Amino acid sequence: MSSRKNFSPPSKTLGRQPLLRISEVARRLAISSSALRAWEALGLVSPQRTESRYRMYTEADVRLLQRAIFLRRARGLNPAAIVHVLKRQGIVSAPAETTLLPGQRFRRRDRPGVRRRRFPAQLPDHGTDVQRRRLGSDAQSRDLRL
């Protein structure tokens, strides 16, 4: 019997290269799994997915994350700057189309039979609130004069 409480079987391998689960990578790098998901959302790493959509990281992903953590802790760079630096060095490729935009929590999926509402390129300008109030007060005073 193992002394570990939550013993789980070793991760899968890709050829000779072992694949690590998000919990294993988080433990190894001493960061949270939500931080790993945030790095993925920024386009730093793109872990492989199993059939059931679990993230599986390679050793190359782990080395890239170690480099990013170094830049974060030693150089004081924010995550977006780290991704920018690594892209300029050619270490990280351009983000895929599935990468989330800043402030976006979920990726929109196109579903068959569902049409997205299209908005015009430029909405009509109705002026600011101040302009509308001014126009409204002018119209009221004009009515009072009649």
Q: How far is CA 16 from the centre of its chain?
A: 30
pTM: 0.56
Strands 55-57 and 48-49: antiparallel
Crossing angle of the two packed helices 79-88 and 33-42, in degrees rounded to 10: 50
What's 10-92's CATH class?
mainly alpha
What are the C-alpha distances in Å from 118 to residues 92, 108, 115, 122?
34, 15, 9, 12
Q: Give yes or no for residue 70 having a pLDDT over 90.
A: yes
Integer Cα distance of 19 and 59 in angstroms: 7
Integer Cα distance of 22 and 25 in angstroms: 5
Instruction: pLDDT band for 17, please (50, 70, 90 cuts).
Output: confident
For 93-144, what is each residue's pLDDT tens digit? 755 445 555 555 555 555 566 666 665 566 556 666 666 566 665 555 555 5
Q: Which pLDDT belongs to residue 18?
A: 86
